[in-house]
Chains A and B, each alone.
Chain A
Amino acid sequence: MGHLEGDNEMETKNIMIVGVGGQGTLLASKLLGWVLMEKGYDVKVSEVHGMSQRGGSVVTYVRYGERVYSPVIDRGEADIIVAFEQLEAARWLDYLKVGGRILVNTQKTEPMPVITGSAVYPEDLPEKMRSAGAQVDAWDFLLPARMAGSAKAVNIALMGRLSTYFPEDWESVWQEGLEKNVPERFLEMNRKAFEFGKKIQELDK
């Protein structure tokens, strides 16, 4: 899957990060926002704090371009969705541009209605999203996170994979971004998670 080369540089690009409260989506968006600003773009990142963080469905909008206005991304506008969980990928799919890319961690976290049996967790979501026309890039990112030393590093492993969508010469900026945004005592572990995430294709064979 190639990076964003050839796209109109001036046009605002939209990336959504979706997941379950507590999965570390805020750190991921902080890192991504930092990298994009460092690359000279105008950037807006919109987060949700408070009530919905308690295990609810969470979404962060990251927008970049020459001049960004709206802090939020609307239905049909996202170039890329990074989903920390399958069901959340499916929930936000209609925010993706038709034919846009969706990076999915195949991990499943059952929501309360599924746990209590009042709803069913749908099967084969990556395949169904493909059928709906999305470019689906789905892997188990728990694997690189655990290899790096913590299941909690799923967020940075996903960012590692996302970094491969951008030009290769951004690498040093991503590394600096990790240094600036990840607490020092977790830096080495997250550097590994980022690296393993980048190479997920080789790991998951």
Chain B
Amino acid sequence: MKELMLGNKAVARGLYEAGCSVISSYPGTPSTEITEEAAKYDEIYCEWAPNEKVALEAAHGATLGGVRAACAMKHVGLNVAADPLFTISYQGLNAGLVICVADDPGMHSSQNEQDSRHYARAAKVPMLEPSDSEEAREFVHRAYEISENYNTPVLLRLCTRVAHSQSVTQTTERVLPERVPYVKDPAKVMMTKNSRDAHVRVEQRTRDLTAWAESCSLNRMELGTDTSLGIITSGTCYEYAREVWGEMASILKIGMSYPLPEQLFLDFARKVDRLIVLEELDPILEDHCRKLGLSVEGKSLFPICGELSPNLIRQAAGLPVPESRKLEEEIPMRPPVMCAGCPHRGVFYILKKLGCMVYGDIGCYTLGAVAPLNAMDLNVCMGASCSGLHGFLKAAGDEWESRSVGVIGDSTFIHSGITGVIDSAYNMSNSTIIILDNSITGMTGHQQNPATGKNLRGEPAGKVDLEALCRAVGFERVRVEDPYDLEAFEEALKEELTAQAPSIIISRRPCVMIKGVKHEAPIEPKTEKCVGCKSCMRIGCPAISVAEGKVRIDTTLCVGCKVCSKLCKFGVL
């Protein structure tokens, strides 16, 4: 059947068709919909794991149990999963394993733009790279074949423009492979001789795959009538190349970006006059060409940083770009903001008021860094707020203890924050951590997590008791506060900052965007009392603006949280 399908949905479709039976993932833009869409098929068991390392280990465990399995994550998630990845590469599988990883060139929703192709080479694991939805679906089938033929996990690399683009896809029916029985094999214990033997096997596997890459249909030489220029490319860049140079151009399209063929590159080079490599992020195909002694242009023309686009490529290649007109007018920016009624807002308002050093983390609450709150000092990666603050306090000393906090969401805390607070409890730093528990994984589009009491499908599930967990790892000072109650929250925070013991404040209030969370009636401002002091504007609520010197509430946005009311001294709100 023909369907217009999102790249991520096409991956899910491919997993379904190829008989994948278990998926364990952690959400992360732009990979999240792979698992969400797969969960719509009753035949696939799907779960959200606490983090990507656990997800990969669980998926690998499922292959040992005899079924095809998968996991999905964003590029930075692969850093977390790197530990099992490298050794699973050695140990092998019992049934096929596909690891979907979505890179984010241009950082639409990420803290860095690392290139996952490095992992394929580093872990010696083959990587496939589709360039549209139809390939995304088809390459899942191919990935399982490679995985089982060569006894290796296979990475399926997407980028934002493949993951989040819809294109026409041809679907097929599901074919379920026979379950592979589990048999104890002493060679699977990864130590000493077993590991040394495994490494030798992995090197041979890479040589075998390299030989196969020369003739496999994933890599394609498309010689056009114009051979004055030859373009070596992969993924979305293939689509850009066709867009810019048209159907007459000669292209070497690489569908398997690791391991790369050699003879195929050399053959292509002989057939064209000039070679360019078109790839986003790092010069991986380009370096391969240089290793083969080919003279190519790549990063000398196109940038390493950011996404490529048709015009950017045209400009770099000296081709004309379409004419366009801008308004002379200054157009104000529209940065993302915390939603009206967001429970995080009050917390950041208090942190700003108290002038705290705030070590932030990854989630919606990273928006606490933007104007007018500007209340976050920095963030690094999932969980760093807890461990980073601990290290900071060990160095900065007592004077900072009373004005430094780590701020982390519930899902992020479970993902990687918990080990950081254990460091803090065990090694006794006098830290204050605020867990922003909004009962959901917000930024990636509302996924359940181990602290919400529901599983991926929204059914009742096990639930981490955050208070008990924090106490169990050694925090004696653990309290729960309501972030809508600014006064009480401020008092609590002051107490914990001055306390001579590490403490955790759980700021508990569900995200207002969760279905079923009750909204209060919008605020009706008593405009006649408004003096236009703009005190209410300090919290940066998108529902509040000032028109003709008086406050105005956007009733389509306001959910009646009344945080602004607490800032108004004139009883307007």
Contact = CB atoms under 8 A, between A and B. Distances in A.
Interface of A: 20-21, 30, 33-34, 37, 42-57, 68-72, 74-77, 87-88, 90-91, 93-98, 110-122, 125, 128-129, 132-134, 151
B324 A94 contact: yes
Contacts of B225: none
A55 B4 contact: no
B167 A44 contact: yes
A96 B542 CA distance: 29
B293 interface: no
B443 A151 contact: no
Interface in B23-56: 29-30, 32-33
A55 B336 contact: yes
Contacts, number: 191
Given A33-B166, A70-B239, A121-B332, A55 B542 contact: yes
Contacts of B321: 74-76
B515 interface: no
Nearest to B167: A44
B537 A116 contact: yes
Interface in B1-35: 2, 4, 6, 29-30, 32-33
Given A111-B334, A111-B335, A119-B332, 6 more contacts: A47-B6, A48-B108, A70-B242, A74-B312, A91-B331, A114-B332
Contacts of A134: 325
A49 B231 CA distance: 31
B324 A96 contact: yes
Contacts of A46: 161, 164-166
Contacts of B444: 50
A113 B337 contact: no
Given A47-B165, A55-B336, A110-B545, A116 B29 contact: no
9 contacts: A33-B4, A44-B132, A48-B164, A51-B109, A54-B443, A71-B165, A95-B324, A111-B332, A111-B333
Contacts of A118: 371
Contacts of B322: 74-77, 97
Contacts of B243: 69-70
B167 A115 contact: no
Contacts of B32: 49
A70 B445 CA distance: 26
Contacts of A76: 311, 321-324
A45 B336 CA distance: 22
- Chain B, interface SS category: loop
Nearest to B160: A48
Given A50-B109, A71-B239, A55 B324 contact: no
A51 B332 contact: no
A18 to B, nearest CB: 11
Nearest to B311: A74
Contacts of A91: 331, 334
Contacts of A116: 371-372, 537, 540
A54 B239 contact: no
Contacts of B327: 90, 93, 122, 125, 128-129, 132
Given A54-B338, A74-B309, A97-B322, A115 B443 contact: no
Contacts of B333: 57, 111, 113, 119
A48 B324 CA distance: 23
B184 to A, nearest CB: 44
B165 A44 contact: yes
B556 interface: yes
Contacts of B132: 44, 71
B339 interface: yes
Given A77-B322, A90-B329, A116-B540, A151 B336 contact: no
Interface in B361-377: 364, 367, 370-372
Contacts of A51: 29, 108-109, 336, 443
Contacts of A132: 325-327
Contact of A133 (B2, B325, B372): B325
Contacts of B335: 56, 111-113
A53 B109 CA distance: 10
B164 A93 contact: no
Contact of A115 (B4, B161, B168, B545): B545
A52 to B, nearest CB: 5
Interface string B116-153: 00000000000000001000000000000000000000
Given A74-B309, A122-B329, A68 B334 contact: no
Given A50-B443, A87-B331, A68 B167 contact: yes
A122 B537 contact: no
B236 interface: yes
